[in-house]
Structure 1
Amino acid sequence: MNRRQLIVSTAATALAAAASPALARPSGAQMSPTPPVAKKIPVIIEQLGRTRTDDYQWMKDDNWQAVLRDPTLIKADVREHLEAENAYREAMLASTLPLQAQMFEEMKGRIKQDDSSVPSPDGPWEYYTRYDTGDQHPRFCRRPRGGGAETLLLDANALAEGKAYSEVSAAEHSPDHSLFAYAEDAQGSEVHQIYVRDLETGEVLADPIQSANGNFTFSPDSAWIFWTNQSANGRPDKIFRRPARGGESTLVYEEEDEGMFIGVGRSSDDAFILITIQNQETSEARLIPASDPTATPAILAAREVAVRYDADHWADRWIIRTNADEAIDFKIVSAPTASPARSEWRDLVAHTPGRFIEGVALVKDYLARQERADANTKIVIRDRAGAEHEIAVDEPAYALNLGGASEFDTTTMRYGYNSPSTPTSTYDYDLATRTRTLRKVQEVPSGHDPADYVVERLNAPAADGQLVPVTVLRRKTTPVDGTAPLLLYGYGSYGIPMAASFSTGRLSLVDRGWIYAIAHIRGGSDKGWGWFLDGRKFSKKNTFTDFTAAADHLIARNFTRSGQIVAQGGSAGGLLMGAVANMRPELWAGIIGQVPFVDVINTMSDTSLPLTPPEWPEWGNPIEDPEAYDYMMSYSPYDQVAPRAYPAILATGGLSDPRVTYWEPQKWVAKLRPATTSGKPVLLKINMEAGHGGASGRFDYLKEVAHDYAFAIWAVERGWEAA
């Protein structure tokens, strides 16, 4: 499908859009478009003595691995149905095109087009990215430290020229500054080519690395490049090495457990090359000394089920963040360089329940850690003698992000601060003098005054007495009298927290009188790692009931009312959307399920899919465990679709998505449409030229945001009734 342009160029449409933020309604009576009717081909599946029938299993292309790499290979009947769904959605949302165009221009106007990152110093150079006006993609650059002529390392716009999709997922210079490598995904399938450029000649070396997953690093001596292979089933399975300037590849490590993810990198002090191995609850690291980069990797500490750790080297010792010894919210231990096995671990920062240690950054004489509690963060600095001090912010809801340092022998680390109302400020922090230097404030060219907005932190009581943090953003002029429409966002999986951060896109809703809220629900680590553990496996339903509790609390506090809320979530957050649509359909005016993981039983029973074995610790294994099967079946959104008065629903996906494959939203919509008794539309948008993250260009992505927000407004204002 050719991507439909959302900018409407006629003067009449532009004037109509500018006159009112509401939907443009047709002037005369029109027939509503006819939705596609998916054929049913019942497939009976017997599993663990249980039987289920799937009418839409035909939508999964048996050759899906090849389709991810070349979408033109998809079965004709599947493509025909997807194109019919896209055409129906476009027809249903035709009245929103002026609104989409207006919001896109607003969002674009809030982005500084000729922008650049704060340079990161490393040896004689400082590295940065920048955008010129009109650029969809970044330019990777360097200049002499302290100033001087710029060298363009990579223009990702030129790389993307003529391609429907192009994303540079990783870029890195060699430690000796002679080479620059970058990984490009040219399909959205997360299968990458890694290119290496000679910075003296400017030439890209021949024979790029194929079938990589985007993760790579140079050896500390710059002689070798290590990378992670992407298997035919879309999993990282092997680490390879070859000379940095090209040559024969050598297998360094192969992971036999298909339930593990692997990656490769360097320690902060460049003393080791590190291979990381982990799933949702167990991890292991293997190390290669920088002095012998072709050595066989040695185990740092042998893997133990339910013990997670990540390690870095601090010049004379290992620094390890771990949940060992029942340290649910993690602690930091140290170990000798020569003997880092578990028996040698000694506590450096003890475990404190409710204070989740999210990560650690090291420079020569200082250790910085980022901690999370009650859905907010702080940064703690520790010197080698053990003295500590904090960097914290006294606000109700904010995001504080430790950036660390690109050099080891430095006393400066970088961090960023923002909040839902406040654009990002980037600081360089002197660890010795405890002074900070403001390096950049995010510019909003169209104008933005944080004082025009109110940010609040609520605590919604869950059914079991837990308090669920909810971050709320609104304009000061938006009344809290139950009349405002509200978008409630949630995720709640894998221990990933939802930061109370700034987004220029959200302002296109908030400035129209909407309230934007984030529910910091269980399944994320917003209140610690225990908050995550209480929202996975056999506690997964806490994620869903926390989200509805947040909605109920917002209604009780008079921020909005039932039936005037649009719920939004993506990927595993799309599972959340499907679950709450089944559980409490009356709460929502609309639901936006972005790349939604909704076909839980089928997906977690298919071991060929990229994420299935690695995610059994998160969801359970329905192939071998009857209890897991029954629990997952009890909430699986696709399997629990039934005759109900569903709200308006928009499901989105990408044809090249290896994480949530296109057929999950396609099947969900096919089953929802004949089931709903409300008469409200069920719509599907499949990007035929992208994967999990949607469009790759910074402006093309905004068109997708504008599309989804226009649907939200349309759902609250019941735009389909005007057709």
Structure 2
Amino acid sequence: MTDQPISPPVAKKVPVERTHHGDTVVDDYTWMADKTDPEVIAFLTGQNDFVTARTGHLTALQDTIFGEIKARTQETDMSVPTRTGDHWYFARTEEGKQYGVSVRCPVRGPDDWDPPRINAHEKLPGEQVVLDTNAEAAGHDFFSLGGLSVSEDGTWLAFSTDIVGDERYTLAFRNIATGQELAETITGTAGGAIWSRDARYVFYQTVDDAWRPDTVWRHEVGGSTPDVEVFHEPDEGFWVGMGSSRSLEYLFIGVGSKTTSQVYALRTDNPTGELVSLAPRIPGVEYEVDHAAIAGRDYFLFTHNGVVGGTKCENYTVDIAPVADPANRTTFIAHDESRRIEDIEAFADYLVLSYRSDALPRVAIADLRRIDGLPTADDFAEVRFDQPLCSAGAAANPEWRTPRLRIAYTSFIEPTELIDLDVASGRRTLLKRQIVLGGYSPDDYEQSRQWATAGDGTQVPISVVRRRSTASPAPTLLYGYGSYEQSIDPTFSVSRLSLLDRGVVFVVAHIRGGGEMGRRWYEDGKTVHKRNTFDDFVAVARHLVDTGATTPGQLVAEGGSAGGLLMGAVVNEAPELFNGIVAAVPFVDALNSILDPSLPLTVIEWEEWGNPLEDADVYEYMKSYTPYENVRAVDYPAILALNSLNDTRVLHTEAAKWVARLQDSTTGDAPILLKTEMSAGHGGVSGRYKQWAEAAFELAWILQQTGAAPEPAAGDA
């Protein structure tokens, strides 16, 4: 560090009044909204320079951590092949290249269900490049592949790319065998495409000005006719999505808000036919549909949270109906308050139920070959694993008639495994375990479940991951999200090892607003119950301090996007509990954003946060917790805000305004840092080496703020 004080650029103040429900607020930083304004760019680049000055002393540590991530990673590698049609599809990565290469090789015959052996350094017989992402990304600072879809006959590839980071994709078409690319492209798509069975048409989506996917189109590949609008949803509170059944018999178009959905179906052998609504749109009822063939008859399976027998199926139930009469639905798997059903997937010979119980994801299978008629809930057998704290679920399984189910398994301390389960015999075949170089052993680490008590008495689950040799009180990183019913399940991370091996304990707070404990857990952390999310997180932090697991001087909290709102709220509520905060693309100016229906995503977000435009109580409630509104003159801990200029989900202005107000208000000396990626979107930088470098920067800063040792413990990599 320099001997002279280093100060961030001071943002100018241009007072703008905002009045709602009789409440007038003065905002000094609304001018930052225009990312084309040279003064905005100057402020962001000046903040980046400030970050560089204040973190320059961490460069050597950052380089070391980058080297650790790289040294633990099998850079030249290949994924386990997945069968689709007449080919095995897989991906290769090569040392020194930022992106992967999608490839395929032919199956050996109709009964070939054994994936080709994995050899990262040799080509497989008949191997053929489907798409070299490195070639597509050449010359671009940012690159994202939005989707990759192969026609059923294996001839044509549809792929979409984004070179800016704004998630507006360009769709292109290529003959896989010849490499010939058609001159026609479609710009401004939402990413992804679905082929008709005859490969004559593709279906794709576009977004409106608020970045809402709202329209499905049919495009005649190689044809001259204009694209046909297949479906349009005018209601700004609903998104449109699409997908095909595993049987390839149906194209499903789903329309959904945060609380209500509707599904339409189209026979894929009649791509110019009419869509059919499978169930009406009922406010407060969400449902998904899959196509199943059971005992020689075709059915639709409805997973929904509607009312059955006068009871709201909050944790979802599954109905079944004949394809010929989708309104004739009967209960297939009954509602269970202790189990949150998340999905049911149909295969030719079995059904797979994915659900959540005891804050962990689980999977169960019903073998249709062993059952006369329709199965019942008792026919589903859970696939069990020995580790009590783990994640297990169906992986990529595109084939309808496969006798094997591919399962992904992992935990906080075990690298991801891909397993083929022979459904008839129950035999499991380990296809691949994620390679971690450098002598990694799960036995050196431990994971455990603890519980913290929130202010209202609610028991909040906590996952704790540490190196066995770590003593308490320990440097600690506390992670949280708590929105949109998203669950933070046990997953393995190579980069996290650089923290664990330096004595940092990694903790996940499974707070309300997430989905870990069922639908009610989510409902109790949204709209006018949102404060429960923040209170739970603070309760977890206090639990860690009060039990002697860590101290405030060793505790750093991290969250991103809606988890960034969490970070901003808790640092306002309890700044004394933390020595550092990492907020990635943080949704910290939530009230101003949700008050502006012209912004991307705002209207559909009203069901998550409430509508402060129409409801004065919601306005006051949101104003009471949104981070930007509640910045005050206190000693804030060090804060690292990570921003992206081209983000369309959480606009750059949120973090910029928040940091400007924090820097102006804090009474302490801890640095408030804003690091903006000038060529990236919501997911940050692209390319694995760039992502590793960014991770190394964040981890070095976290190590500094937790007071952890700069070097791994003796004997560690």
Out of 17, 29, 34, the position equivalent to 1:44 is: 17
Corresponding position: 1:188 with 2:162: no
Structure 1 segment 298-337 matched on structure 2, within 5 A? 298-315=276-293, 316-325=298-307, 326-337=312-323
Taking a change above 3 Å as real, the CA distance of residues 245 and 471 of structure 1, as seen in their structure-2 partners, is: farther
SS at match of 1:639: helix
Q: CA deviation at 1:718?
A: 11
Corresponding position: 1:688 with 2:678: yes
Out of 256, 264, 288, the position equivalent to 2:242 is: 264
Structure 1 segment 211-290 matched on structure 2, within 5 A? 211-247=188-224, 248-290=226-268
1:394-444 deviation per Cα after TM superposition (whole angstroms, max 9, x unaligned): 323211121252110122111111111110110011111111111100001
Partner of 1:501: 491
**Equivalent residue letter for 1:615:** E
Corresponding position: 1:129 with 2:121: no
Q: CA deviation at 1:579?
A: 0.3
Q: CA deviation at 1:307?
A: 0.3
Q: CA deviation at 1:233?
A: 2.8
Structure 1 segment 682-721 matched on structure 2, within 5 A? 682-717=672-707
**Equivalent residue letter for 2:401:** D
Partner of 1:382: 366
Partner of 1:437: 429
Taking a change above 3 Å as real, the CA distance of residues 651 and 707 of structure 1, as seen in their structure-2 partners, is: same
CA distance in 1, matches of 2:687, 2:343: 30
Partner of 1:397: 389
SS at match of 2:395: strand
Partner of 1:4: none
Q: CA deviation at 1:333?
A: 1.1
Partner of 1:23: none
8 A Cα contact 2:475 2:708, kept in partner: no
Corresponding position: 1:423 with 2:427: no
Q: What percent identity do the matched residue pairs reach?
A: 39
1:59-102 deviation per Cα after TM superposition (whole angstroms, max 9, x unaligned): 001xxxxx6xxxxxx11111011110110111000101111111
CA distance in 2, matches of 1:638, 1:447: 46
Q: CA deviation at 1:244?
A: 3.1
CA distance in 1, matches of 2:324, 2:643: 48
CA distance in 2, matches of 1:41, 1:396: 55
Partner of 2:577: 587
Unpaired stretches in structure 2, ≥5 consecutive residues: 109-115, 117-124, 710-717
Out of 307, 320, 333, the position equivalent to 1:349 is: 333
SS at match of 2:689: helix
Unpaired stretches in structure 1, ≥5 consecutive residues: 1-25, 62-66, 68-73
Q: CA deviation at 1:457?
A: 0.8
Q: CA deviation at 1:716?
A: 3.2
SS at match of 2:303: strand
Partner of 1:53: 26
8 A Cα contact 1:205 1:246, kept in partner: no
Q: CA deviation at 1:459?
A: 1.1
8 A Cα contact 2:210 2:601, kept in partner: no
**Equivalent residue letter for 2:55:** L
CA distance in 1, matches of 2:51, 2:95: 32
SS at match of 2:446: strand
8 A Cα contact 1:318 1:340, kept in partner: yes
1:297-345 deviation per Cα after TM superposition (whole angstroms, max 9, x unaligned): 221111111100010111300011111111111111111102223xx22
**Equivalent residue letter for 2:16:** V
Partner of 2:175: 198
8 A Cα contact 1:377 1:392, kept in partner: no
CA distance in 1, matches of 2:254, 2:553: 46
Q: Which runs of 4+ in 1 moved over 4 A?
A: none
Partner of 1:155: 132
Q: CA deviation at 1:258?
A: 1.1
8 A Cα contact 2:173 2:184, kept in partner: no
Out of 40, 44, 68, the position equivalent to 1:82 is: 44
CA distance in 1, matches of 2:598, 2:91: 38
**Equivalent residue letter for 1:242:** H
Q: CA deviation at 1:200?
A: 3.0
Partner of 2:620: 630
SS at match of 1:314: strand
SS at match of 1:182: strand
8 A Cα contact 1:207 1:246, kept in partner: no
Partner of 2:448: 456
Partner of 1:596: 586
SS at match of 1:154: strand
Q: Structure 1-normalised TM-score?
A: 0.92
**Equivalent residue letter for 2:306:** A
CA distance in 2, matches of 1:57, 1:705: 31
Q: CA deviation at 1:32?
A: 2.5
**Equivalent residue letter for 1:279:** S
1:153-207 deviation per Cα after TM superposition (whole angstroms, max 9, x unaligned): 1100011111000011211111111111111111111010111111232112111
Q: CA RMSD in A?
A: 1.4
Deviates further, 160-169 or 141-150: 141-150
Q: CA deviation at 1:363?
A: 0.7
CA distance in 1, matches of 2:223, 2:466: 54
CA distance in 2, matches of 1:243, 1:110: 46
CA distance in 2, matches of 1:704, 1:566: 18
Structure 1 segment 554-703 matched on structure 2, within 5 A? 554-703=544-693
Partner of 1:373: 357
Partner of 1:361: 345
8 A Cα contact 2:196 2:269, kept in partner: no
CA distance in 2, matches of 1:417, 1:133: 26
SS at match of 2:538: helix
8 A Cα contact 1:654 1:687, kept in partner: yes
Q: CA deviation at 1:393?
A: 2.2
**Equivalent residue letter for 2:302:** I
SS at match of 1:422: coil
Q: CA deviation at 1:679?
A: 1.3
Partner of 1:16: none
8 A Cα contact 2:395 2:406, kept in partner: yes
CA distance in 1, matches of 2:646, 2:223: 30
Partner of 1:64: none
Q: CA deviation at 1:473?
A: 0.8
CA distance in 2, matches of 1:266, 1:552: 47
1:638-682 deviation per Cα after TM superposition (whole angstroms, max 9, x unaligned): 001111111100111100000000010000000001211121110
Q: CA deviation at 1:556?
A: 2.8
Q: Would you say how many aligned residue pairs link Structure 1 and Structure 2?
A: 677
Out of 54, 58, 78, the position equivalent to 1:92 is: 54
CA distance in 1, matches of 2:96, 2:640: 30
**Equivalent residue letter for 1:676:** T
8 A Cα contact 1:397 1:419, kept in partner: yes
CA distance in 2, matches of 1:220, 1:353: 41
Partner of 2:112: none
8 A Cα contact 1:396 1:455, kept in partner: no
Deviates further, 461-470 or 152-161: 461-470
Q: CA deviation at 1:607?
A: 1.1
SS at match of 1:668: helix
Deviates further, 286-295 or 485-494: 286-295
